[in-house]
Amino acid sequence: MATDYFLAFNGYGYFSEGIQPQLSRHAMISSNHVYVPNDTSIEIPFYTEDDIEIVYTKDGTQTTVDTASEYTGVAASSVKYVTFTPNTDDTPYDIKVYDNGQTTLLKTIKLIPVCEPKYTSIRCYFLNRYGVIQQMYFFKRTDEQMEIEDTTFNRNMISSTATYDNESAQKMRFDVKAKTSLQLNTGFVDEDFNTTIEELFLSEFIWVEYESNKLPAIPRSKQMQYQTALNNKLINYTVQFDLAFDTVNSVR
């Protein structure tokens, strides 16, 4: 009896798309804009089972990435993460995704460098609607907060001589727990970037790079107010995350 194998991703469709919608078979991000610090890079995931060609011109040199040889019939080869860096003069450029032979333009992604001299940019990773890891950056102000929980009790301080030491505490503290949260700001983005923020809020797996560590996180914000150029003029999203672990290690 023959065995059939199927390739599946941990993604999702929207109710408005109906039953079993066809997700992207080329660039596996929804937005047409990516923002990257002008001194670093960003990875974008592409589907490889269908032969596509990725064309972009950086610093005057055109590069073509052909995924024809990437897919080998195993799941691990079905997605290729391509690394992009900004132009040296910090100007944007287009990443064009074509079918094989470049007869049909499937998607254009604008890579926009951001020069942020004041704040440290925070890279965020999340599982997007296509079931792959997507990267994005928060460029503006970061606020860190720690919330503490504890339990206290009053202890017996009387000694055998019916005295007590007034430098000793009557109220004792134990079972101290703490959780850390981060409040991040995207900086000004295009209205099209709403899809990235939406998928971030809907993601079950999120990590933030903070102080040289890649840390799991959960959005504390449970409401997203969609911003538009018409209503808000300049669009900046503020997102608060709870780091997904106890600050005082409680792993057993």
Taking alpha carbons only, the member of 63, 17, 56 closest to residue 36 is: 56
pLDDT tens across 148-161, in order? 999 998 888 888 88
CA–CA separation, 203 vs 11, rounded Å?
A: 10
| CA 129 – CA 167 distance, rounded (Å) | 59
Separation of alpha carbons 240 and 81, rounded Å: 27
| Rounded mean pLDDT, 5-11 | 85
| pLDDT on residue 38 | 93
Q: Give residues with Cβ within 8 angstroms of 242, minimum separation 6.
A: 179, 180, 181, 217, 218, 219, 220
Examine the pLDDT at 3 and tell me if it is beyond 90: no
Taking the whole predicted model, whether its pTM rises above 0.75 is answered as yes
Q: What's the total number of domains in the chain?
A: 1
Residue 223 belongs to some domain of the structure: yes
Q: How far, in Å, CA of 117 to CA of 1, rounded?
A: 63
Average of per-residue pLDDT values in the chain: 92
Q: Is residue 168 part of a domain?
A: no
Domain that holds residue 102: 22-146+177-243
- Give domain status of residue 162, yes or no: no
Specify if 136 maps to a domain: yes
Sheet containing 143-154: which strands, arranged edge to edge?
A: 133-138, 122-127, 206-210, 213-219, 238-243, 171-185, 143-154
Residue 9, in any domain of the structure: no
Q: Whole-angstrom Cα distance, residue 105 to residue 108? A: 8
Note whether residue 1 is domain-resident.
Answer: no
Cα(129)–Cα(30) distance, integer angstroms:
8
